[in-house]
Amino acid sequence: MAEARPAVADGNQKLFPCEVCGRCFAADVLERHGPICKKLFNKKRKPFDSLKQRLQGTDIPTVSQPPQPKGQPMRKSNWRQQHEDFINTIRSAKQCTLAIKEGRPLPPPPPPTINPDYIQCPYCMRRFNETAAQRHINFCKTQSSRCVFDPAQTAARLASRAQGKAQATPKKQ
Ligand SMILES: [Zn+2]
Ligand SMILES: [Zn+2]
């Protein structure tokens, strides 16, 4: 006699809720799903769409599973998110440094995973909200390109400053 299989085949596989859509996934699936879901959510997140989205959201198939105690699984998925974000930050920082050194165009900033509203500056790795980020990244770009790509100019400026000082201070004899 064949029994109906439960939705979760592995009894010992733990499911974690997605922070964005609330659906539950196995840890490795959530790892892939999370960033995609947030990106989608970010795109859709316009004031007039939210109600429509909520109405449409009712027919999204969900994994049937018994209700979980709140708190613990969320904290676990947060830890995963933060860890992922940390790795992303380091990785992109390395790529940025490399790109600056070799004079290549900078890689795109990593998708923000902790707060989808915040955008990370690819130059200084700080996070800003959308409006501030656009202004800041432009500013930071000029700043960093000025510092990194003109070592000769910086040296010249330092030299001339040193000369000026030497001329300005009369020698006492
Ligand atoms: Zn999701
Ligand atoms: Zn910056």
- The answer to whether residue 55 sits within a structural domain is no
- The answer to whether residue 8 sits within a structural domain is no
Distance from Cα 87 to the centre of ligand 2, integer Å: 19
- The answer to whether residue 157 sits within a structural domain is no
The predicted structure's pLDDT at residue 5 = 46
The count of structural domains within the chain is 1
The predicted structure's pLDDT at residue 47 = 54
pLDDT at residue 1 greater than cutoff 70:
no
- The answer to whether residue 64 sits within a structural domain is no
The predicted structure's pLDDT at residue 155 = 72
Distance from Cα 136 to the centre of ligand 2, integer Å: 6
Give ion ligand 2 contacts, CB < 5 A.
121, 123-124, 140
| φ and ψ at residue 25, rounded to 5 degrees | -140, 160
Residue 13 gets the label, from left (phi > 0), alpha (psi -120 to 50) or beta, of beta
The closest ligand to the CA of 143 turns out to be 2
- The answer to whether residue 162 sits within a structural domain is no
pLDDT at residue 59 greater than cutoff 90:
no
Distance from Cα 144 to the centre of ligand 2, integer Å: 8
The closest ligand to the CA of 23 turns out to be 1
Q: Confidence band (pLDDT; 50, 70, 90) for 45? A: low
- The answer to whether residue 110 sits within a structural domain is yes
Distance from Cα 115 to the centre of ligand 2, integer Å: 17
The closest ligand to the CA of 141 turns out to be 2
- The answer to whether residue 84 sits within a structural domain is yes
Distance, in Å, from the CA atom of 15 to the CA atom of 26, rounded to the nearest integer, reads 4
- Domain interval for residue 115: 15-45+71-151
pLDDT one-digit tens code per residue, 114-163: 566 788 888 888 888 888 999 999 999 888 776 555 566 667 777 777 77
The predicted structure's pLDDT at residue 15 = 93
- The answer to whether residue 81 sits within a structural domain is yes
pLDDT one-digit tens code per residue, 93-122: 888 788 888 888 877 665 545 566 788 888
